[in-house]
Structure 1
Amino acid sequence: MSTDHQLVFVAGLHRSGTTPLARLLAAHPDVSGFSGTGATEDEGQHLQDLYPPARTYGGAGRFALDPAAHLTEDSPLATEENARRLYRAWEPHWDTSRAVLVEKSPPNLVMTRFLQHLFPTSSFVVVIRHPVVVALSTEKWRRSTSFRDLVHHWVVAHETFAADASRVERKVVLRYEDLVATPDEALGAVARSLRLEGDIPTDQLETHRSDAYSSEWARRAAAGGREGKRVAAVVEEFSDRVERLGYSLTDLSARLSTPLFTSSADG
């Protein structure tokens, strides 16, 4: 579907920083995002009825484990008419006098190829946060899901995105840790990719939200008994896969080089 606007999809797992990132983008004078919609976190997934939202597949910490959540251009939903239908569902929630229109939903992480097929000139801003921090922060409100399973979900979700990323033409991939440590640099890269004039505001970022989770992980790792063994088991099972995605389970401050963080504005 062609449109006079530039559509930008913000993607990243729950608790990865998608909400503050989308709000920062929407604070730019040329950008409109969703606010005051009444939907959870003003997410576009809850403002449409074309594709199932994350809760259909188990919600936070679970959805990416269901193969049906992974939508591509091969989906029977990927039609021109459905592109128009989706745009019409979201359009009332945007200020269409702005040139750039932002939609944010965690399932976008495993739907990039699908959304790109519907809106071929769209861009993606993907934010990735350390799996330990995402798992610990999700664990607080998904107590029925084990920490091990939350890390597994993180790995599968990002492996899915990594496999799709080479076919996504316009994307910026950010580490949450870089966003809060050097926001001007991180958001400057986003602004250049989206061809925005002027800066994206950075005043809404909180810089130390991961510290408590890092301390909790260190405490668990040093603990004896079952708790320490559970940490060791997670490290043994997932270290290699996590490192291929740019992080370390033994050194939470490490940032590993990986093609996943190669961004592209024009393919």
Structure 2
Amino acid sequence: QLVTMAEARQRRGKKEGAPPRTNGAASDPPKSKYKMKSKEFPLVPLGAFFAAVFLVLGSVYRKFGPTMFFGHAAYDLSRTASEWRSFLDGYGEGGRGKTVLLIGGPHRGGTTILWKALTAHPEISGLGDTFRTGSDHSEGINIQDVYPRFGVGMEHLMKHNPKWQNEMTGVGRYALGDEKEVHLTEDDERVTPENMARIMNRFGSYWNLSTPVLTEKSPPTAVMSRFLQALYNLDPSGGGEGKRRSVTKFLFITRHPLANAYAQQDLLGGSQAGPSLETLLKNYVQMHKYLKSDMEVLENDPKIVRLEDFASDPNGELRAIYEWLGVDSSDDTVRWILEEGLGEKIRSEPNKKYQSMWCRSDGKDGTTDWWRYVTAEEYQKDVDELGLGYDMKGWCRGGSAGTKTEKKAK
């Protein structure tokens, strides 16, 4: 059978997979594989974007835990002020009266290492680590909403914004703000049963309520101790503060003023980014002036320890504090806490780096030495009047601790 040329071409096209021709009209060309890829291409950066988001959220979660997503209020307890007062008086978990230990002092003054050492004790409960609380260094002030927050959050983020630096009362400058805003006392209008229950319901969800000592640590406690004493000891029945046993004890830790100022500059991004050394020293002095005046009003024998004493003799300092709190202060307990429970070593010379920074000379003309002399001379009088026992003028001639007396803890 004869096959025409047209039929041959048609048969050959079918074998090779070519599209058949219809009535002489050209068929539509096959869709380009490159066009298909171009339509799918946006999915690649979209997937990368979501992967980056999940990585960021994952890293945030690993550090700050679920409270970063759900908020602290989601974990609040729901007791009334009367129920909390009864609990603190000894009619709740643990079957004995509680002590609320409040720790304060200058930022970078040693509050965190002291708090870690104390809460390693089995009879003392803290709020937990950063993952549990969602707060850097587990500072209670940053997870509550009853009183002002002077913390290490926005100050660090906004350190390059001069407008914010001038307006903020944060790290290294908060004590220099308006006294009625930063020096809180028992006369504050926020001392109410509602706020007492609010703060206890917030912190109570993080404490182990069966322990006899419940601890909260925030550096600005140093300027609001009288307010906190009134708040925690409030009698919802109307009997007034002082009618019942005081449940609060205050422990403050301080540090050589120059070492503390340099450490705060490190925290805030260096001398060019944060407050000047002069501002930091003024803040240090004013904070301690408030603290000294408040110590006369605080009950239950409030104490001040120096970081330098704590670092050089942690065994002795911890034992004395445990005895003061009425918990086990045996040698075995203290040894276990320092060797295992704490989980880190306490540096014996925490000021050494900053002493070197202060004592070095930048030039042969003596300019830096003269500035150092004038600064030390100016603030030495204030430090002496505060009774802290620090040597500013002679710091370069002595050890890194910079103390003039053996111990100045009350």
TM-score, normalised to structure 1, is: 0.90
> Matched residues in 2 for 1:177 and 1:134: separation?
11
Aligned residue runs from structure 1 range 176-215, under 5 A: 176-198=307-329, 199-200=333-334, 201-203=337-339, 204=344, 205-215=346-356
**Deviation of residue 99 (structure 1)?**
1.7
**2:372 pairs with one of 213, 228, 231:** 231
Structure 1 partner of 2:275: 145
> Matched residues in 1 for 2:279 and 2:364: separation?
20
Per-residue displacement from partner, 1:65-113 (whole Å, max 9, x unpaired)? 1121111101111123211111111111111122211100011001111
Mapped pair 1:159 → 2:285: no
Structure 2 partner of 1:135: 261
Q: Give the aligned length.
A: 261
| Identity within the alignment, % | 30
> Matched residues in 2 for 1:61 and 1:122: separation?
27
Mapped pair 1:241 → 2:382: yes
**Deviation of residue 208 (structure 1)?**
2.3
Structure 2 partner of 1:46: 142
Distance 1:221 1:106, change over 3 A: farther
Structure 2 partner of 1:72: 185
Per-residue displacement from partner, 1:22-69 (whole Å, max 9, x unpaired)? 111110001111223121211000110001110485221011111211
> Matched residues in 1 for 2:100 and 2:281: separation?
31
Question: Residue type matched to 1:236 in 2?
Answer: E
Question: Residue type matched to 2:210 in 1?
Answer: S
Structure 2 partner of 1:174: 305
**2:173 pairs with one of 49, 62, 68:** 62
Distance 1:168 1:18, change over 3 A: same
> Matched residues in 2 for 1:207 and 1:257: separation?
15
Aligned residue runs from structure 1 range 242-261, under 5 A: 242-245=383-386, 246=388, 247-252=390-395, 253-256=402-405, 261=409
Unaligned runs of 5+ in 2: 1-80, 91-97, 155-167, 234-246, 396-401
> Matched residues in 1 for 2:368 and 2:394: separation?
18
> Matched residues in 2 for 1:222 and 1:256: separation?
33
Aligned partners of 2:253 and 2:305 also within 8 Å? yes
Question: Which shifted more, 221-230 or 180-189?
Answer: 221-230
Unaligned runs of 5+ in 1: 263-267
Aligned partners of 1:16 and 1:128 also within 8 Å? yes
Per-residue displacement from partner, 1:243-264 (whole Å, max 9, x unpaired)? 2232121133233489x742xx
Superposition RMSD in Å: 2.1
Of structures 1 and 2, the one scoring higher in RCO (CA 8 A, sep 6+) is: 1
> Matched residues in 1 for 2:363 and 2:194: separation?
55
**Deviation of residue 226 (structure 1)?**
4.5
3-state secondary structure, aligned to 2:191: coil
Distance 1:166 1:136, change over 3 A: same
3-state secondary structure, aligned to 2:205: helix
Question: Which shifted more, 145-154 or 52-61?
Answer: 52-61
Aligned partners of 1:133 and 1:210 also within 8 Å? yes
Greater Rg over alpha carbons, structure: 2
Question: Which shifted more, 175-184 or 243-252?
Answer: 243-252
> Matched residues in 2 for 1:223 and 1:106: separation?
40
Question: Residue type matched to 2:276 in 1?
Answer: S
> Matched residues in 1 for 2:103 and 2:365: separation?
40
**Deviation of residue 236 (structure 1)?**
2.7
Mapped pair 1:84 → 2:197: yes
